Amino acid sequence: MFYDWGVFSSKQFSVPVICVGNLSMGGSGKSPTIEYLIRLLKNQYHVATLSRGYGRKTKGFVSLDASNEAVEVGDEPLQFKNKFPEIEVAVDELRAHGIQKILEDKNTEVILLDDAFQHRKVQAGFTILLSVYNDLYVNDFVLPAGNLREPKSGAKRADIIIITKCPPSLSEKEQTQIRLQLNLQKHQKVFFSYIAYQKEAQGLNSKIKLSELQNYTLVTGIANPKPLVDFLNEINPPQKHLKFKDHHNFSASEINIMRQERIILTTEKDFTRLKTSLASDQLFYIPIEMKILDHAEDFNHAILSYVAEFA
């Protein structure tokens, strides 16, 4: 409220800063969205990502390298660094300080802020708000009555709203109905996305078709594993599902239980936590990627046009 009234000021920066976040608690697809933006931008610009590093045991600014572990920097930033080693990936609970540290590298041209919609100390130049298809923020309430971090009126700060985790077959008619529900501001655009699951599981040294996995155990430490479980049930259901809370730090006893299983299939995020504890021929993950439905060119153009303004 004080930021909205202008009592507290937000810091702006001289490079394009793109914020990705949500109004609700739990997983809305922020990591796949950040990865989509990295793929879109990295061949034209020097890209950096900045996250808080949720659940890490360190404090302050850390720029990631190949030696970091998830407990030091958080699982999602480590996932970004593993997939895109050529970009700078950093964590800092104080985003303004983190951006200043990143900008000490004069080559940085674009900064992606992960999960920073409520971090009002920084005023991003472009803001993307995510909302899950079957859990729209307009139908929810602020904690504790509902699952929102802030009132739904906060959505007016977004430049783009992405409805995530949609069915790939979502019709134009239903897209129009959702647009009407959102009661958009004049400057806002809405896009719809879905998660594309690969049909091969990836390990440290090998791949295997999901249909060929036998007697495997699914391990998840994410906010909502249901879409993944539904996908696997259609191809090759797991024999067992060990379900943990989001960003779970696996204990020694939990690791020992997993070591008794023949094959562990997990999410890419959880893979970053487990790969140093389980055998390389035992642990696999399912690569995923966010896809924009129908109007990807328009979404890409909006992002690239914003960044080009700073050239």
160 and 204 co-located in one domain: no
Q: Report how far residue 279's alpha carbon sits from residue 276's, in angstroms, rounded to the nearest whole number.
A: 8
Question: Which among 12, 41, 52 is positioned nearest to 108, based on CA atoms?
Answer: 41
Walk along the chain (311 residues) in steps of 10 and give the mean pLDDT of each run: 71 92 88 97 97 88 90 90 95 94 93 90 92 94 92 94 95 95 94 96 94 95 90 95 90 95 94 91 95 95 96 70
CATH code at position 122: 3.40.50.300
For residue 114, what are its two tokens? 């992960």
Could you give the C-alpha distances from 76 to 6, 32, 40, 64, 237, in angstroms and in order?
33, 10, 19, 12, 26
Across the strands, what pairs with 267? 286
pLDDT of residue 55: 80
Question: Which among 147, 137, 114 is positioned nearest to 29, based on CA atoms?
Answer: 114
Q: Report how far residue 294's alpha carbon sits from residue 159's, in angstroms, rounded to the nearest whole number.
A: 19
242 and 221 co-located in one domain: yes
259 and 297 co-located in one domain: no
28 and 164 co-located in one domain: yes
209 and 296 co-located in one domain: no
Question: Which among 174, 25, 48, 157 is positioned nearest to 108, based on CA atoms?
Answer: 48
- Give the dihedral sign, CA 90/58/74/133: negative
Number of domain units in the chain: 2
63 and 183 co-located in one domain: yes
Q: Which amino acid is at 192?
A: F
pLDDT of residue 296: 96
pLDDT of residue 7: 67
72 and 204 co-located in one domain: no
156 and 278 co-located in one domain: no
- The whole domain housing 212 covers 199-286
Concatenate the DSSP letters of all residues of 166-190 into one string: --TT--HHHHHHHHHHHT--TT-EE
What phi-psi label fits residue 14: left (phi over 0), alpha (psi between -120 and 50 degrees) or beta?
alpha
304 and 164 co-located in one domain: yes
296 and 155 co-located in one domain: yes
215 and 227 co-located in one domain: yes
